[in-house]
Chain A
């Protein structure tokens, strides 16, 4: 079946450091890919998405490129801030016969320190 694998956390960085959170996927079809962010006590917010190979999603300084050849969608940010501390979820979406469903990775907690 479809699945998403993320690097385990927590990831701890100093402010202004470079961030990479790895995400790879397995899918029977041709999925769209998403990154969601969850701040403490809140729901999930869409961070960015990409719908086809080589697309780059970007938002708030974060970006990720849909790599079909390596089945990856790694999240990157050039300079993290304390306010970026959250849990990040990679997800894939495939339209099925019964409806469209998201499959999530287990999440990666990011802690950014001064």
Chain B
């Protein structure tokens, strides 16, 4: 299994509060991603990072920010959580390489906004 750890794994928070999810990798991979998974939508990319301090938006980035101050950590922040952000969040990692490269996923973080 790829060395990816997400924390917290489960969280319940109130509307309007800030929330930070952490992804930690031990693989020294260059690329890191945050996806959210919702019924009927599959997985959608929120933000991704292609290096330390290098990040870019995915298809559903509104309401989220990210930071990557070191290779191993990629943080996802909900500045002011809303009920529409109730979801399962997955971190993923990959490394630059041939087209045969693979993206590996963490175990997921279940977030409920009440």
Q: What's the interface size class on A, roughly?
A: 20 to 34
Docked pose: A95 CA to B35 CA in angstroms? 18
Contact A93 B106 (CB under 8 A): no
Give chain B residues whose Cβ lies under 8 Å from the Cβ of A104.
Answer: 35, 42-44
Contact call B56/A44, Cβ cutoff below 8 A: no
Contacts of B94 in A (CB 8 A): 100
Interface residues on B, range: 20 to 34
Using a Cβ cutoff of 8 Å, how many contacts connect chains A and B?
A: 63
B-chain residues with CB within 8 Å of residue A68 when the two chains form the complex = none
In the complex, what distance in Å separates the CA atom of A25 from the CA atom of B105?
Answer: 22
Interface residues of A (CB under 8 A from B): 30, 32, 34, 36, 42-46, 49, 51-52, 89, 93, 95, 98-107
Residues in B lying within 8 Å of A, measured CB to CB: 31, 33, 35, 40-45, 48, 50, 56, 58, 90, 92, 94, 96, 98-108
